[in-house]
Amino acid sequence: MKEDLLKNIEKIHTTVLGKNRIKKNLELENDDVVNFCKNKIKDNKCKIYKQGKNWYCEIDNIKITINSYSFTIITAHKNLKS
């Protein structure tokens, strides 16, 4: 299943609002949040799974949510450790 997302990596994108949300949530200085997320997703350590209509990618204490139909990055946030 992970391969389905990886073979469509070039389709991954986000909206202007998504870009701003991701940048804020991850405290990124970099404006290229899509490329940042794609690099995280391509990392062999990234845990990728699908639930309902979304893909979830977890790596380096970050969780990225991607719509499985449009390949739009909806959000990304830091996982809080308990």
10-50: per-residue pLDDT in tens? 999 999 999 999 999 999 998 899 999 999 999 999 999 99
How far apart CA 13 and CA 43 sit, in angstroms, is: 18
Helix (H, G, I), strand (E, B) or coil at 60: coil
How far apart CA 67 and CA 42 sit, in angstroms, is: 17
Helix (H, G, I), strand (E, B) or coil at 25: helix
Whole-structure pTM value: 0.92
> How far out from the chain centre does Cα 41 lie?
7
Percent of the chain with pLDDT over 70: 96
71: nearest Cα among 1, 17, 4? 4
